[in-house]
Amino acid sequence: MPPLRRILIANRGEIALRVVRACRDLGISPVMVYSEADRDSLPVRLADQALPIGEAPAAKSYLRSDVIIEAAIRAGADAIHPGYGFLAENAAFARATAEAGLVFIGPPPEAMQAVGDKVEARRLMSKHGVPIIPGLTDRAADTTSIAAFARQAGYPIVLKAAAGGGGKGMRVVRAEADLAGALRMARSEAGASFGDDGIYAEKLLEDVRHVEIQILADAHGHAVHLGERECSLQRRHQKLVEEAPSLAVTPELRRRMGDLAVQVARVSGYRNAGTVEFLLDREGRPYFMEVNARLQVEHPVTEMVTGLDLVRAQIAIAAGEPLAIRQEDLAPRGWAIECRILAEDPVHGFRPQPGRIRALRLPAGPGIRVDTALQEGDVVSLHYDALIAKLCAWGADRDEAVRRMLRALGEFQVAGIRTTIPFDREVIAGEAFRSGRFDIAWVDSRMDAIRARLLESDDQEAERAAVAAAVASFEERSRSAADASRGATPDAWALAGRRAQMQGPAPRRGWARP
């Protein structure tokens, strides 16, 4: 297969920029597609070509497979990178891309389907000796089969969507009396989210950690694992802080989980980069949870401790190149931590914070990596995910990584919207994170205390904040008074900003560099 020369990136934000950069590093020409909301975005600015694909809502742009494939052909691309989210795990899109004569940079559609149905995946793994979370390996026809399982395994149990992911269609059931109602709700939610109302049941494992293994598999039957990522710090099943390696994983356990993950790849016919998620109980027993058939948000921590470029590896594998790394050469070096910086207000239930970025200062310095497409003046839109930046810190050991992360969080300034930066500072500086004693329930169970700490302030801090706001308000009034006395209308930038805050950027004419 000839090397790839031009790649179309079917995504937006930080991950689109990440792929643009990998293309540049490989001497490949990056092509972007964009919705009306992203016309002025950084990945669009940095690509060789950028083509409009529709309106701001994802269903009218980033999810339109036919329009995206047509754009790839028009731009002369030979491959499509889907990033994560949107069409990344859509087998029909992967298939249509191949049928159009383009390379899909990701797993083959058959493998995507084999791991995409959670019940099928559980059955497949169980058959090949991979430990699964105790539970049903069939879709639940009715409450009878679930009740029988729950009586034998004991409550609490959790109902999950067969086609599921992201906590949709998921219900914890603590007593038989609640089962029928929970099943009805899980079914309706799963049906609405995935077009498939299939439900199965698992024993609810509490005080467990979420530990996942990164794998790479080429088209020549060679597969390796790149060690684990610890992702237990989650709020309502949404990961917030990740690290590699995990304090809970010994070299021996890493080998065992790694072997299991490679086996998962093998039996599902997996190719390209993927992640096998496990729950790890207190005794260090891993249970297969699911396969994420894509590049993960948190891939940078693995890159930092292995020195590998995972997007580059994805592109090489898709181009048919054999893996150049051997398992015995891989061992984590140092420690890496990632904080997901979200446009959400941590003191008000992580409420979304759309709006214009008035000013921005990104952290830098030794050991710091920031993946973000954010620019001053950008509008964080309600149409997309709230992830605005990924802040990663590397250290020779975990202590150094923690101190660097705290330093970088202190340098990070975003003005215009609230972010999760104060929450991250609180968590990373806290005793639980320092000692590594946390599990998947930790954030949810401590959120009230964290919130209270975020709201603390002393008299002097409050007084200074009051003065800062009063002076800023005074200046704003003086400015508008000056404008009024000159008879001037507010400047175009201010008007555009105000308009953008209301409805997203005003449409402008498209452009494309030849």
Partner 1 sequence: MKVLARVGDREFALEVSRDGAAYQVSIEGREAKAHVEGHGAIRTVTLDQLTVETAAWPVAAAGDGTRGETAWDVVAGGRLQEVRLVDPLRAGRRGEDADHAGGPTEVRAVMPGKVVAVLAAVGQEVETGQGLLVVEAMKMENEITAPRAGRVTAIQVKQGEPVDSGAVLLTLE
Residue 231 · residue 242 · CB < 8 Å:
yes
Q: Is 507 in the site for partner 1 (CB under 8 A)?
A: no
Stretch that binds partner 1, among 36-44, 302-310, 432-440, 460-468 (CB under 8 A): 460-468
- The whole-angstrom separation of Cα 346 and Cα 409 is 15
282/498 with CB nearer partner 1 = 498
Q: Is 481 in the site for partner 1 (CB under 8 A)?
A: no
328/459 with CB nearer partner 1 = 459
Measured CA distances, 121 to 113, 134, 268, 289 (Å): 9, 14, 8, 9
- Give the number of other Cβ atoms within 10 Å of residue 494's Cβ: 13
Q: x/- string (CB under 8 A) for partner 1, residues 252-271?
A: --------------------
1/466 with CB nearer partner 1 = 466
State which of residues 137, 143, 327, 501 lies at the interface with partner 1 (CB under 8 A): 501
- Which residues have a Cβ under 8 Å from the Cβ of 235 and sit 6 or more positions away? 350, 443, 444, 447
What's the residue count for the chain? 514
Q: Is 461 in the site for partner 1 (CB under 8 A)?
A: yes
Q: Is 241 in the site for partner 1 (CB under 8 A)?
A: no
Structure tokens at 164: 């599921």
Q: Is 472 in the site for partner 1 (CB under 8 A)?
A: yes
Q: Is 476 in the site for partner 1 (CB under 8 A)?
A: yes
214/419 with CB nearer partner 1 = 419
Distance of closest approach, residue 451 Cβ to partner 1, in angstroms: 12
- The whole-angstrom separation of Cα 418 and Cα 341 is 10
Residue type, 12: R
- The whole-angstrom separation of Cα 76 and Cα 98 is 15
The torsion region of residue 430 among left (phi > 0), alpha (psi -120 to 50) and beta comes to beta
In terms of Cα–Cα distance, which of 178, 169, 167 is closest to 197? 169
Q: x/- string (CB under 8 A) for partner 1, residues 408-447?
A: -xx--xxxx-x--xx--x----------------------
Q: x/- string (CB under 8 A) for partner 1, residues 309-348?
A: ----------------------------------xx--x-
State which of residues 351, 434, 437, 479 lies at the interface with partner 1 (CB under 8 A): 351
Angle CA 48–53–59, to nearest 5: 135
User: Is 294 a known active-site residue?
Assistant: yes
CA quadruple 343, 347, 350, 352: dihedral, nearest 10: -50
State which of residues 148, 449, 466, 488 lies at the interface with partner 1 (CB under 8 A): 466
Distance of closest approach, residue 175 Cβ to partner 1, in angstroms: 24
State which of residues 175, 452, 468, 495 lies at the interface with partner 1 (CB under 8 A): 468
- The whole-angstrom separation of Cα 514 and Cα 512 is 6
Stretch that binds partner 1, among 93-101, 126-134, 383-391, 392-400 (CB under 8 A): 383-391
Sheet holding 49-54: strands in order across? Answer: 49-54, 29-35, 6-9, 79-81, 103-104
- The whole-angstrom separation of Cα 2 and Cα 275 is 27
Question: What is residue 218's DSSP assignment?
Answer: -
Q: Is 469 in the site for partner 1 (CB under 8 A)?
A: yes
Angle CA 469–470–475, to nearest 5: 100
1/471 with CB nearer partner 1 = 471
62/149 with CB nearer partner 1 = 62
Q: Is 38 in the site for partner 1 (CB under 8 A)?
A: no
Q: Is 484 in the site for partner 1 (CB under 8 A)?
A: no
Q: Is 502 in the site for partner 1 (CB under 8 A)?
A: yes
Measured CA distances, 76 to 117, 193, 345 (Å): 34, 35, 42
11/268 with CB nearer partner 1 = 11
The torsion region of residue 169 among left (phi > 0), alpha (psi -120 to 50) and beta comes to left
Distance of closest approach, residue 344 Cβ to partner 1, in angstroms: 8
Structure tokens at 21: 């950069």
Q: Is 473 in the site for partner 1 (CB under 8 A)?
A: yes
Distance of closest approach, residue 345 Cβ to partner 1, in angstroms: 9
Q: Is 364 in the site for partner 1 (CB under 8 A)?
A: no
State which of residues 71, 150, 205, 386 lies at the interface with partner 1 (CB under 8 A): 386
Three-state secondary structure call for residue 164: coil
- The whole-angstrom separation of Cα 102 and Cα 94 is 9
Q: Which residues inside 130-149 make contact with partner 1, applying CB under 8 A?
A: none
State which of residues 237, 477, 479, 499 lies at the interface with partner 1 (CB under 8 A): 477
- Beta bridge partners, 416, equal none
- Which residues have a Cβ under 8 Å from the Cβ of 475 and sit 6 or more positions away? none
Structure tokens at 184: 């009805």
- The whole-angstrom separation of Cα 250 and Cα 256 is 10
Distance of closest approach, residue 266 Cβ to partner 1, in angstroms: 34
- The whole-angstrom separation of Cα 217 and Cα 222 is 6
Q: Is 471 in the site for partner 1 (CB under 8 A)?
A: yes
State which of residues 153, 382, 447, 496 lies at the interface with partner 1 (CB under 8 A): 382
Distance of closest approach, residue 505 Cβ to partner 1, in angstroms: 15
Which is catalytic among the residues 12, 39, 235, 294? 294
Q: Which residues are catalytic?
A: 294
List contacts with partner 1 (CB under 8 A).
343-344, 347, 349-355, 358-359, 361, 376, 382-386, 409-410, 413-416, 418, 421-422, 425, 454-457, 459, 461-478, 501-502
